[in-house]
Amino acid sequence: MTPWADRTEYSDVTLSRWRQQLADATGWDIFPRSVTVVQDTLFFLARKGQEKRVGVFAPKPLTEFSGTWHQVTIERRTGYLLEGPTDATNAAALRAHVPFLRPQPLGMVKSVGLGDRLGLATPGHVRAVRQHTMRPVFAQQSIREMERTGRSPQEVMDDALWGVFQEGWHEGFGADADHLKTFEHVDRCVAAGFTFFTIDPSDYVDHTADEAPEADIRAKVATLPWDVLDASPEKLRALYVGRTFDLGDTACTLSEEDVWRAAAKYGAAIAHTVRMYRYLQERMGNTPFELEMSVDETETPTRVAEHIYVASELRRLGVQWVSLAPRFVGRFEKGIDYIGDLAAFERAFRQHVAVAQALGPYKLSLHSGSDKFSIYPIVARLAGDLIHLKTAGTSYLVALEVVAQHEPRLFREILAFARERYATDRATYHVSARLSQVPSPEALSDADLPRVLHEVDGRQVLHVTFGSVLTARDEGGNFRFRHRLLAVLRAHEEAYSAALAEHFHRHLAPFDG
C-alpha cells in the first residue's frame, strides 16, 4: 500500500472522493467531517443501520483496535479495513493514533465548559463552538453528576471523543474533572486522562465567619492546619495586615479584621486545595494539567478582601492555577437567568477581575453559568480573556425538548416522575422552582409540552431531577426512562445537534468581541 502524505489535512474534494469510495466499499453512511488521515492510515466514523461504527483503513491490521478487518482497495490502494464498535478499546486506540482526539490544557484564553449528562451532546457542542471564539472543554462532568447518572470518568471522556471525531474538531479541547473533593476522585479522573481538575473545597469553607464574634474568629484561626499552610497566626498578621494591594484603578488595604475573617472562612479550604494540588502533581508526573479552585457552592458571596487572601495564599504556597470560581453576588440558580441587581453584580465583578489581573493573571470561572444571558455582556466586557464559563444541565434540557417534540408520551412520563422527585432532588441545588407552577402532563396538549421547558419553574424541576430520571428502575429492575430517552435522541440526532448549536449560540455570541 502506497503511504498517504504525512499530514492530517486534505482538501475537501480529496476527502469527499475517498469518503465516497469508502461508502461504496462498505455500504455505510460516513460522517463527512470524521474522515482523517494520519501518515499511512485513514480513520473515519460511520453509521451502519441504527449503530455507529469506527472505520480504519491501513496497510495492515492494527491489533490495538477491536472489530473485524477486511482486505479492500480504496483510492487504488489495497489495504485492510476495520469495522469496529464505538467502545472503550477503540476510543483508546484512536486517542493514541489521532492527535486532535487527545484533550489538552487550554491556557490563558477565554473558554467554555460544555457538560454532557447523556453522552450525546458533543456533536452539537462542536457545531456551536465552531461559530464562536471561546475555546472548548468538551469532556466535563462533576463526580456528583457521574454518580447520579451512572457514568464513569472514562465514559465521559470517551463519549466526548466520539463527538469530536464525528464532527472533525481539530482545534483542541479540554477535559474537566469537575468538583473533585477527595484523592480517590483525583485517582479516577487521572486514570481516565483528564487534563483540567476543578478542586471543590466547599466542605471546608466556614460560612459562619462572616458574622461570628471576634473571639470566635480568633478561635477558628487558631485551629487552622498551620502545618499545611506553612504559617502561624503571627506570620499571617505580618504577611497581610495593613498590606495594600494595587488593583489598577483602585487599591485595597487589608485590615486586621479582613485578614482574620478571611482566614477563618477560607483557611481550611486553602489547605485542602494545597493537599489536592500536591497529590495531583504526584499523580500527573510530567503530564501537563490545569487546576481550578472553586468556592462557588457556598452560602455567602466572596468579598474582594477574601479573594485577595485566597489568591495570595495559593500563590505563596506554590499552587499554580488557571482559574478560580468565587461565590459571586446574586443568585446563580440552575437552568435560568441571573437573579439579582445587575448594577451590584457589575460593581463586584469588576473588582474580582481586578484581583485576577493583579494576582495572576488567571481566569474567573462562572459556575452554574448556563442561561445567565443578562450578565454575559457584563462579564465579556470586563473580563476579556479572563473568563471560563461552565455549563452542564442546559444541554439536558435541550434534550428533553427534543423528546417533547418527537416522543411526547415519553416526555409526559418524565415530567410526571420529575414532579414526584423534585422535593427530594432539589436539596443539593440552588433552585427556587414552585412545584405548584409546573403543570401536570395531563393538563397539556402535545403541542404545549415544550412550553414547560421555557418556563422558570418547569426548567428547574426537570433540571435537578436528571439523576433520578436516568437511574430510575421498574419492578423488574429495568431502567424506566434511560434507554428510551437515549434512543429518541439517537434517532433524532440531527435535531438534537441543531437545537444545541442554536441554544449555545446565545451563550457564546456575547463573548466573541
Q: Quick check: is 292 catalytic?
A: yes
**Per-residue pLDDT, 2:** 44
pLDDT band at 428 (very low <50, low <70, confident <90, very high): confident
Lowest mean pLDDT among 10-19, 233-242, 303-312: 10-19
CA atoms of 358 and 245, how far apart (whole Å): 8
pLDDT band at 474 (very low <50, low <70, confident <90, very high): very high
**Per-residue pLDDT, 3:** 44
**Per-residue pLDDT, 502:** 98
**Per-residue pLDDT, 74:** 82
Could you tell me how many residues make up the chain?
513
Give residue limits of the domains in the chain.
12-98
Distance of CA 495 to the CA centre of its chain: 22
Q: Say whether 136 sits in a helix, a strand or coil.
A: strand
Count helices and strands in the chain by DSSP H and E runs: 19, 16
Specify whether the CB–CB gap between 311 and 215 falls below 8 A.
no
**Per-residue pLDDT, 499:** 98
pLDDT band at 452 (very low <50, low <70, confident <90, very high): very high
Q: Quick check: is 184 catalytic?
A: no
The rounded mean pLDDT for the chain is 95
**Per-residue pLDDT, 9:** 54
Whole-prediction pTM: 0.96
User: Which cell numbers hold the place of 23?
Assistant: 461508502
Average pLDDT, integer, range 393-414: 98
pLDDT 10s digits, 320-365: 999 999 999 999 999 999 999 999 999 999 999 999 999 999 999 9
Say whether pLDDT at 77 is over 80: yes
Which percentage of the chain shows pLDDT scores above 90?
Answer: 91
Say whether pLDDT at 212 is over 80: yes
**Per-residue pLDDT, 117:** 96
**Per-residue pLDDT, 475:** 96
Across 315-410, where does the E strand assignment appear? 323-325, 363-366, 387-391
User: Which cell numbers hold the place of 160?
Assistant: 466526548
Measured from the Cβ of residue 510, the count of other Cβ atoms closer than 10 Å reads 17
pLDDT band at 1 (very low <50, low <70, confident <90, very high): very low
**Per-residue pLDDT, 7:** 44
pLDDT 10s digits, 165-206: 999 999 999 999 999 999 999 999 999 999 999 999 999 999
Which percentage of the chain shows pLDDT scores above 70?
Answer: 98
Say whether pLDDT at 10 is over 80: no
Lowest mean pLDDT among 12-21, 123-132, 192-201, 439-448: 12-21
Say whether pLDDT at 282 is over 60: yes
Residue 440 gets the label, from left (phi > 0), alpha (psi -120 to 50) or beta, of: beta
Place of cell 484564553: 109
φ and ψ of 94, to 5 deg:
-60, -45
**Per-residue pLDDT, 51:** 94
**Per-residue pLDDT, 21:** 87
* Catalytic annotation, pick one of 178, 258, 306, 371: 178
Say whether pLDDT at 8 is over 70: no
* Catalytic annotation, pick one of 145, 200, 206, 292: 292
pLDDT band at 135 (very low <50, low <70, confident <90, very high): very high
Q: Which of 22, 31, 50, 42 is nearest to 122 (CA)?
A: 31
Per DSSP, what are the bridge partners of residue 291?
197
Measured from the Cβ of residue 291, the count of other Cβ atoms closer than 10 Å reads 22
pLDDT 10s digits, 356-386: 999 999 999 999 999 999 999 999 999 999 9
